[in-house]
Amino acid sequence: MSLNEINKIQTRMAELEELIEETKKRLPAHSVKPPVMMDLLELEDEYDVLLKKLNELKSGK
């Protein structure tokens, strides 16, 4: 397990959390814009991938 790699993942996850919140704020209450929704989904997908990788690194797999 590389501590440096874990730190990089955690840093990126924190960045993604901020981006996800900012993107959610751009969503209008009605008639969601597809490009904004696509941005949100991409950010959430990347976050999920990093979370899985982080959990694997911490468990030693």
Q: Would you state the pLDDT for residue 33?
A: 82
Residue 59 confidence class, pLDDT cut points 50, 70, 90: confident
Could you read off the pLDDT of 23-57 as tens digits, one per residue? 999 888 788 788 989 999 999 999 999 999 999 98
Q: Which amino acid is at 16?
A: L
Hey, what are 37's tokens? Answer: 């929704």
Give the C-alpha distances (Å, rounded to integers) separating 33 from 27, 28, 36, 59.
7, 8, 6, 39
pLDDT at 44: 97
> Which pTM was predicted?
0.84
Predicted pLDDT at 1: 57
Report pLDDT digits (tens) over 7-31: 999 999 999 999 999 999 988 878 8
